[in-house]
Amino acid sequence: MLKVDQLNLYYGAIHALHDISFHVNEGEIVTLIGANGAGKTSILYALSGLIPCKSGEIAFDGQDIRKVPAHQLVTLGLVQVPEGRRVFSRMTVMENLEMGAFTRKDRQEVDRDFYMVFDHFPRLKERRRQAAGTLSGGEQQMLAMGRALMARPKLMMMDEPSMGLSPILVQEIFAIIRGINADGTTVLLVEQNANMALSIAHRAYVLETGDIVKDGPASALLQDEDVKKAYLGT
């Protein structure tokens, strides 16, 4: 579904990503793990067209999307839940969800999707008239995910969904990610919490200072001695 080939990215003079290549198959959960500053968020930003990349190819559903402007990627089905939720805090929960469906023209389907989102996140339904800024961190994460779902993504990219959440919420969010995937959405997941990410993903790539150093089935990486030592801790 997504194929990234030899991607290079620079911030000014800093070479942030070196020849990154990876792919995501339809129906998978793929996770990118790695230390802070390894370039995980940069990859997602490049995929979403928010930062330009120097060279390389990004193909989504067989189409070259490197030159497609950021706001058109959503129509193609490539949607991101950014790090730190980034909900529109002065808008209500409902309005945030509407923004997620901004590019869609099928009004009736959109109305039906509100119920789909509320099914996944019953708590959002209770708070649908509240301003998003008044929600707690966990609820905001749910809203950000629900907002992305409203775009009917084929591939949903999630950046650090567990950041700053309590253990019980982390479990809940990860269960929901599995549910979304089970409903047919492909997921590309960037996570600091490598244990959790590997436990729900099918495959994983390990990123170190702008290079992919390892990849394989998530269950294998979970047992890999190097990965254990470098990312899972003792």
Q: Which is nearer to other proteins, 200 or 213 (CB)?
A: 200
Considering only 2-10, 59-67, 119-127, 199-207, which stretch makes contact with other proteins by CB under 8 A?
199-207
Q: Name the maximum alpha-carbon separation found in the chain.
A: 51
Q: Which is nearer to other proteins, 6 or 103 (CB)?
A: 103
Among 15, 25, 27, 37, binds other proteins (CB under 8 A): 37
Among 18, 88, 94, 120, binds other proteins (CB under 8 A): 88
Angle at 213 between CA 212 and CA 214, to 5 degrees: 100
Task: Establish if 41 lies at the interface with other proteins (CB under 8 A).
Answer: no
What whole-number distance in Å separates Cα of residue 176 and Cα of residue 144? 13
Minimum CB separation of residue 36 from other proteins in Å reads 4
Residue whose pair of structure tokens reads 């929901």 in the numeric block: 176
Structure tokens at 1: 């579904």
Among 7, 9, 74, 204, binds other proteins (CB under 8 A): 74
For residue 226, how many other CB atoms are within 10 A of its CB?
A: 11
Among 5, 57, 61, 95, binds other proteins (CB under 8 A): 95
Q: Are 199 and 27 in contact (CB under 8 A)?
A: no
Task: Establish if 71 lies at the interface with other proteins (CB under 8 A).
Answer: yes
Q: Which amino acid would we find at residue 186?
A: T
Q: Which is nearer to other proteins, 62 or 234 (CB)?
A: 234
Q: Are 3 and 59 in contact (CB under 8 A)?
A: yes
Residue 225 makes CB contacts below 8 A (sequence gap 6+) with none
Considering only 3-11, 16-24, 53-61, 81-89, which stretch makes contact with other proteins by CB under 8 A?
81-89
On the CB side of 6, how many CA atoms lie within 13 Å of its CA?
3
Q: Which is nearer to other proteins, 5 or 95 (CB)?
A: 95
Minimum CB separation of residue 69 from other proteins in Å reads 7
Tell me the number of residues near other proteins by CB under 8 A.
62
Q: How far is CA 154 from the centre of its chain?
A: 12
Q: Are 198 and 222 in contact (CB under 8 A)?
A: yes
Residue 93 makes CB contacts below 8 A (sequence gap 6+) with 124, 127, 128, 129, 130, 132, 135, 143
Task: Establish if 200 lies at the interface with other proteins (CB under 8 A).
Answer: yes
Contact footprint for other proteins (CB under 8 A): 33-37, 48-50, 69-75, 79-80, 82, 86-91, 95, 98-100, 102-103, 136-138, 147-148, 151, 160, 163-172, 174-175, 178, 192, 194-195, 199-200, 202, 219, 230-234
